[in-house]
Amino acid sequence: MTMMIGPNCVVSISYKLTNDQGEVLDASPEGETLTYLHGAAGIIPGLEKELTGKTAGDDYKAVITPEDGYGEYRPELIQQVPSDQFPNADQLQVGMQLTGQSENGPIVATVKDIAENIVTVDLNHPLAGMTLHFEGSIADVREATEEEISHGHVH
């Protein structure tokens, strides 16, 4: 029986992500797939929407606005932080991405500027404000187990 992608499906996809200029920003490694639980906010809403109703073997292509992707770019998320709040401030470099934990889950901060005692970081997601072009194919669709559904992720 062919299974259509919907809530509580475990889906494996290959993907290539490009920006408006056609530059490749990310891609699944050759022969590998990304596996996620559909309907559990494991991937961005726009891509989930595009994949709904498709089946294993289908190809997909989607143009996703920031609203359905990683959100609009918010200038207020550029913040100045005293460098003594970084455990390894002397190793920071402009362009570096730092990962950390906030009350609302994992965050990525990009170092924008380093001045005496002050580090400017950008807390926007690196793909915020961008229109995303996804394409790939669906390798597998299966029903999630009870445990996977209750945990909200794939085992």
Residues lying near Zn ion in the complex (CB under 5 A): 151
Q: State which residue, 61 or 151, has the beta carbon closest to Zn ion.
A: 151
Q: Which residue's CB is nearer to Zn ion, number 8 or number 18? A: 8
> Which phi and psi angles does 51 have, rounded to 5°?
-85, -20
Smallest gap, in angstroms, from Cβ of residue 150 to Zn ion? 8
Closest distance to Zn ion from the beta carbon of 154 (Å): 8
Of 135 and 148, the one with the shorter C-beta distance to Zn ion is 148
CB of 23 or CB of 147, closer to Zn ion: 147
Nearest distance from C-beta of residue 153 to Zn ion, angstroms:
6
Residue 71 CB-half CA count within 13 A: 8
The least CB distance from residue 54 to Zn ion, in Å, is 25
Report the candidate in 74, 4, 17 with the shortest Cα–Cα distance to residue 46. 17
Residue 71: count of CB within 10 angstroms of its CB: 16
Is the dihedral angle over the CA atoms 129, 131, 133, 139 positive or is it negative? Answer: positive
**How far is residue 10's CA from residue 155's CA, in Å, rounded to a whole number?**
10
User: Minimum distance between the CB of residue 68 and Zn ion, rounded to whole angstroms?
Assistant: 27
| Pick 142 or 151: Cβ nearer Zn ion | 151
- DSSP, residue by residue, 57-90: T-EEEEEE-GGGTT----GGGEEEEEGGGSTTGG
